Structure 1
Amino acid sequence: MNMASTFIKPVHREGYKFISIFAAITLGLFLMSEVLGWIGVILTVWCYYFFRDPQRTTPTREGLIISPADGVVSMIEPAVPPAELGMGPEAMTRVSVFMNVFNCHVNRLPIEGIVEKIAYRPGKFFNASLDKASVDNERNGLAVRMADGRKLAVVQIAGLVARRIVCEVKEGQKLGTGERFGMIRFGSRLDIYLPDGVAPFVAVGQSTIAGETVLADLRSDEPARIGVTR
C-alpha cells in the first residue's frame, strides 16, 4: 500500500452529488471571502471522506459473523427483531453499532446467505445512540437465511441528522460475507440480531470495522466477552 492509497479512497456513488454541491458552494464562498472559501474546502473534504468506500479484507471462514458497519458497539442486549421482518416474538441478542459522522457509512452483510425479506418502516429521527431509536426511528431491516437454515437480522436505523437509508439489494438475492448492501447518510446505527445461542465476541465500547471485525461465531460455544477500558 502506497501513501496515496492510505488517504485517497474510492467514493460510494451516493456521494458524487453531495461532493459536487459542496464543491460548488465552496467556489461561491471564495468569491465572497477567502476565509469562507477555505472553510468550504474543509467541509468538501469532509463530505468526500464521509462517502468513502474503501476495500476491506473479510475473514471468510464458515460460521463467522462480521460487523456490518464501522463504529462503536453501543449496546448488547436481548431484543425482539422488528415485527415487519417476521422473525417471531422471541428475543434475540442484539448488537448495536453506532456510526458517527466521521465513520465510513457503507454497510456490509454480516454473513453469507439469502436476503429472505427486506422491510422498510418510516419513523422519527432521534439520536441513533438511544435505545428507543430501534423502535421509533426510520429503519430498513434485512432478514438473512444462512446455509444452516437459521436466520440473522440486520437493521439500518436513521439517526438525528440521517435523512436517507439506502438499500442496494433485493429479496431473494444471495450475498457473501462482507458484501456491500447499502449505506445511511450522515450519522446512524446498525442493529444485528444474532441467532439463538450465539454469543457476541465484542463488548460495549469496542470499535468495529465493517467487513472485518468478527462479531460472533456460529460454531463457538464461548460465553459472551467482557471488555475493559484501559
Structure 2
Amino acid sequence: MKIHKEGRRILFFTLLALLAANLLLFRYNAENSGFNKVFAGISVIVFLTLLQFFRSPARRLFTHEDLVIAPADGKVVVIEDVEEPEYFNDKRKQISIFMSPINVHITRNPISGIVRYFKYHPGNYLVAWHPKSSTKNERTTVVVESEAGPLVLFRQIAGAMARRIVWYVNEGDEVSQGEEFGFIKFGSRVDIFVPVDTEVKVQIGEKVKGGQTIIAQLKTTAPSLF
C-alpha cells in the first residue's frame, strides 16, 4: 500500500511516540500487564487507522473535456441551485461530497483547464455538513476555465476534525483532470459549483471515487461520450 507524502512524517513520529510509550509501560509498569496489553492493542488500532487515512491507492483515471469527475472519495450530500457569492455572484449548481475519516483524503482536479482564480480562507471548524461550513470554515477556492469552455469552481473545506488544508495549485497553472490538487488532513468536504444547466450524473447519498466517478456533464458543442 502506497502512503501519501502528506502522511509520511505524521506516521513516522506517531509510530515513534507509540513505541516509546509502550516500551516505558512494559518497563516501569510491568506488574500491570493487563493494562499494558490493552494500551498496546489501542496503539496498534490508532496507527492502522492513520495508515488507512493516508493511503494513496492507484487509480485508473477517467478523463473527458466536458465531464466533471469527482474530486474526492466520499458521499454526495448536496445537489442544489445556490447563489455563489465569492467569485460568480450569481446562481450555480452546487454538488458537495462529504469525506468520512475512512475515505481517501486526496483531492483531485475535476476538470482540465487553466486556474483563473485561487484563494485560501482561514476560518472556523464547523462540522462538514453544517450549512454554513462552505462559507465559514477554513477552505480554499479554485476556479478553472475548463477545456470545454465553462468555468468550474471547487472548494476544499475543513471540518471539525480537519486542521490543515494542503494545496498544490496557483493562479495561472494548467491542470489536468484527475491529478492531485491538494489534501485535507482529517476531514472533510469538497464543494463543486457548475453552471445551472449542467447535467448532474449522481444522486444524493451516492458514494463516489475521486478521479473515477462522473458527477456531471457540462454543456458544450463538442461530441459527448454519453
For normalisation by structure 1, the TM-score amounts to 0.87
Partner of 2:4: 12
Supply the distance in 2 between the matched residues of 1:155 and 1:82 (Cα, whole angstroms). 13
Partner of 1:154: 154
Cα offset for 1:160? 0.4
Cα offset for 1:218? 1.8
Supply the distance in 2 between the matched residues of 1:18 and 1:81 (Cα, whole angstroms). 36
Supply the distance in 1 between the matched residues of 2:127 and 2:145 (Cα, whole angstroms). 30
Instruction: Determine helix, strand or coil for the equivalent of 1:119.
Output: strand
1:80 aligned to 2:83?
yes
- Contact persistence 1:25–1:40 (CA under 8 A): no
Cα offset for 1:82? 4.7
Instruction: Determine helix, strand or coil for the equivalent of 2:117.
Output: strand
One-letter code aligned to 1:74? V
Partner of 2:214: 214
Instruction: Extract unaligned runs of 5+ from structure 1.
Output: 1-7, 221-230
Number of residue pairs aligned between Structure 1 and Structure 2? 210
One-letter code aligned to 1:35? V
Instruction: Extract unaligned runs of 5+ from structure 2.
Output: 26-35, 221-226
One-letter code aligned to 1:27? L
Within 5 Å, which residues of 2 pair with 1:59-208? Answer: 59-83=62-86, 86=87, 88-208=88-208
Supply the distance in 2 between the matched residues of 1:24 and 1:34 (Cα, whole angstroms). 18
- Contact persistence 1:100–1:188 (CA under 8 A): yes
- Contact persistence 1:22–1:43 (CA under 8 A): no
Q: Deviations over 1:88-133 (max 9, x none)?
A: 2111000000001110000000011111111111111000012111
- Contact persistence 2:66–2:148 (CA under 8 A): no
Q: CA RMSD in A?
A: 1.6
Partner of 2:32: none
Instruction: Determine helix, strand or coil for the equivalent of 2:17.
Output: helix
CA 54–82 in structure 1, closer or farther in 2 if over 3 Å, else same: farther
Instruction: Determine helix, strand or coil for the equivalent of 2:81.
Output: strand
Q: Deviations over 1:58-100 (max 9, x none)?
A: 22233111000100001111123351xx3x2111000000001
CA 103–82 in structure 1, closer or farther in 2 if over 3 Å, else same: farther
One-letter code aligned to 1:154? F
Partner of 2:29: none
- Contact persistence 2:65–2:147 (CA under 8 A): no
Instruction: Determine helix, strand or coil for the equivalent of 1:130.
Output: coil
Structure 2 residue corresponding to 1:53, chosen from 45, 52, 56: 56
Supply the distance in 1 between the matched residues of 2:210 and 2:85 (Cα, whole angstroms). 22
Supply the distance in 1 between the matched residues of 2:129 and 2:101 (Cα, whole angstroms). 13
Partner of 1:5: none
Supply the distance in 1 between the matched residues of 2:181 and 2:209 (Cα, whole angstroms). 15
- Contact persistence 1:29–1:36 (CA under 8 A): no
- Contact persistence 1:77–1:95 (CA under 8 A): yes
- Contact persistence 2:119–2:140 (CA under 8 A): yes
1:38 aligned to 2:30?
no
For normalisation by structure 2, the TM-score amounts to 0.88
Instruction: Determine helix, strand or coil for the equivalent of 2:64.
Output: coil
Instruction: Determine helix, strand or coil for the equivalent of 2:18.
Output: helix
